[in-house]
Amino acid sequence: MASAAEQLASTFNFGAFAKATELKKRLWFTLGALIIYRLGTYIPLPGIDPTILAEIFEQQRGGLMDMFNMFSGGALERMTIFALNIMPYISSAIIMQLMTAVSPRLEALKKEGESGRKKINQYTRYGTVLLATVQGYGIAVALEGAGGSSGGSAVLDPGLFFRLTTVISLVGGTIFLMWLGEQITQRGVGNGISLIIFSGIVANLPVALVQTLEQGKTGALSTIFILFLMIMAVAVIAFIVYVERAQRRLIVQYPKRQMGNKMFGGESSHLPLKLNTAGVIPPIFASSILLMPLTLAGFSGGQGPDFLNQITAYLGPGQPLYLVVYVSMIVFFAFFYTAIVFNPAETADNLKKYGGFIPGIRPGKNTADYLDFVLTRLTVAGAAYLAIVCVLPEILRSQYAVPFYFGGTSLLIVVSVTMDTVAQIHSHLLAHQYEGLIKKSKLRGRRR
């Protein structure tokens, strides 16, 4: 706890921050890009009746549509050009990573270095366009079939032209957000894609807080339960911070080497293995898959195909089957994504190449097996942590109509992105301080 407090204090050293010109430019660029994103969430699609659309969403209030609307920063409820948000890109990126583990050609591209990564990124962009086109066309068709209680249609002029303009607008919005996220990553601070989702969730947190207090005022929620909800949110945040910072450090020893009359090496280091290597990817991807059929079924207002209505009934929020499928998918993607981002055999080969070894473990295959054993145990704990954080608030939400913004998935994303951004700001400040020390040492050397 002391080291964390010292890191936080050094991060917000305003004296050093005032001198870090490059960091301030990056922060201003990030803030400007996020403002542009938020403005885009209020630009509506053409040809939609906002009154009927608001009525349809009010009928679906409390379902999984709220979660999708949370990820889009409210853009889905307003049916704007950013209604799909960045989710098609995330889905395409994860699918491409899964394909990399299956396809030898993609695996070879990944090992080619920077040129291979550029090709994989290009394939990811193509996949984003394809997924956004399919989802955009599905939303256009669903909007044409949706209607309010008075019988009015949400679309003013249904037809081919409406579908075409809707698909072009939604695909263009997703591609713009993909480009904006990449620009934030390169020229700003933090991961751009994560910050876009983060800003959408945080922007609606005050509204969710007001809604919760209003429910307490009307008697829908008791004062004791609201206090319990706030305490639970703080406890979940503390638990997320604790687990996300948790590591298993494996000692790595390097042998001594004699070069001439001098002895080099012999020092020991450590290999950090995070408890939750997969991060927020498993719950996001599990939510995306669960939302695909339920989104269309929710827009159809119960008038869609029978199998969609049955899926909606069995996979409704708080239903036992929904919780089982959600937990199973989180656990599956936690293991699968961890296996993709960390290769024990490759790590063992690199240690052997540079002469490093884990004390008591023979280099090579035995080291790879040991790393796989430790990583599997850590992933079991990490998957259980993700399942608990995401499912327990889901149960409370289904029973007491708690907004999604106080759920485990949203808090997990907000806390994880905040920690990552603060860590990057801290690294930029350290780099600036080192540059200042180097310049001072050069000046002193010249005076001598």
CA-nearest of 337, 430, 435, 431 to 6 is 430
- Alpha-carbon distance of 2 to 4, in angstroms, equals 5
- Quick: pLDDT tens for 8-41: 444 455 566 666 778 888 889 999 999 999 999 9
- Asked if residue 8 belongs to a domain, the reply is no
**pLDDT one-digit tens code per residue, 296-334:** 555 554 555 566 667 666 666 667 787 888 889 899 989
Percent of the chain with pLDDT over 70: 77
Q: Which residue is listed with tokens 């960091």?
A: 23
222 within domain boundaries? yes
Kindly list the distances between the CA atom of residue 77 and the CA atoms of 42, 50, 126, 195, 419, in Å, as whole numbers in the listed order. 10, 10, 27, 20, 29
Domain tally for the chain? Answer: 1
The per-residue pLDDT string of the chain (448 residues; one tens digit each, 9 = 90 and over) reads: 444 444 444 445 556 666 677 888 888 999 999 999 999 999 999 888 888 888 877 776 655 566 677 778 888 888 899 988 888 888 888 788 778 877 888 878 877 777 888 888 899 999 999 999 988 888 888 888 776 666 667 788 888 899 999 999 999 999 999 999 999 999 988 888 888 988 888 887 777 778 778 877 887 777 887 788 788 888 888 888 888 888 888 888 877 665 666 655 567 788 888 888 888 888 877 877 776 666 555 555 455 556 666 766 666 666 778 788 888 989 998 998 888 888 888 888 888 887 788 888 888 888 889 999 999 999 999 999 998 888 876 776 666 666 555 566 778 888 888 888 888 888 877 776 666 656 655 555 555 4
Domain that holds residue 250: 22-447
Flag whether 13 is in a domain. no
Q: Is residue 15 part of a domain?
A: no
Contact 282, 289 (CB under 8 A): no
The pLDDT, as a whole number, for residue 172 is 94
Output phi, psi for 413, to 5 deg.
-65, -45
- Tell me the DSSP string of 1-13: -HHHHHHHHHHT-
Residue 383 lies in a domain: yes
- Is-contact 83 209, C-beta < 8 A? no
Domain presence at residue 336: yes
With respect to residue 3, please indicate whether it lies within any of the assigned structural domains. no
Q: What angle do CA 226, 229, 232 make, to 5 degrees?
A: 155
**CA distance linking residue 306 with residue 185, whole number of Å:** 44
CATH number at residue 279: 1.10.3370.10
Nearest in space to 405 (alpha carbons), one of 138, 74, 143: 74
- Condensed to tens digits (0 to 9), the pLDDT of residues 334-379 reads 998 888 888 888 888 888 887 788 888 888 888 889 999 999 999 9
**Does any domain span residue 279?**
yes
